[in-house]
Amino acid sequence: MGTVQKVLLYGGTFDPPHNGHMNNLRAALELVRPDKAIVMPAGIPPHKKASTTPGKVRLAMCQCFTALSPAVEVSDWEIAQGGRSYTVHTLEMLRDAYPGAELYLCVGSDMLLTFTQWYRWQDMLAMAALVVESREAGDEPALQAAAADLTAQGGRVLFARAEAYPCASSDIRSGKIPPEQWPEILPPETLRVVQENHLYSAEKEV
In this predicted model, what pLDDT tens digit does every residue of 110-160 receive, in sequence order?
899 999 999 999 999 999 999 998 766 667 889 999 999 999 999 999 999
Asked if the structure places residue 78 within a domain, the reply is yes
| 186 belongs to a structural domain | no
Q: Specify the number of domains making up the chain.
A: 1
Q: Are 41 and 53 in contact (CB under 8 A)?
A: no
Residue 109 identity (one-letter amino acid): S
* In a domain? residue 200: no
Q: Which of 199, 173, 150, 191 is nearest to 48 (CA)?
A: 173
Is residue 39 in a domain?
yes
CATH number at residue 47: 3.40.50.620
Per the domain annotation, does 199 fall within a domain? no
- Say what the pLDDT of residue 125 is: 96
- Give the pTM: 0.91
169 burial level (CB within 10 Å; 0-12, 13-18, 19+): buried
Question: In this prediction, what percent of the chain has a pLDDT beyond 90?
Answer: 70
* Residue 67: inside a domain: yes
Residue 84 structural domain: 6-168
Tell me whether residue 196 is in a domain: no
Whole-Å CA distances, 32 to 3, 27, 36, 77: 14, 9, 10, 23
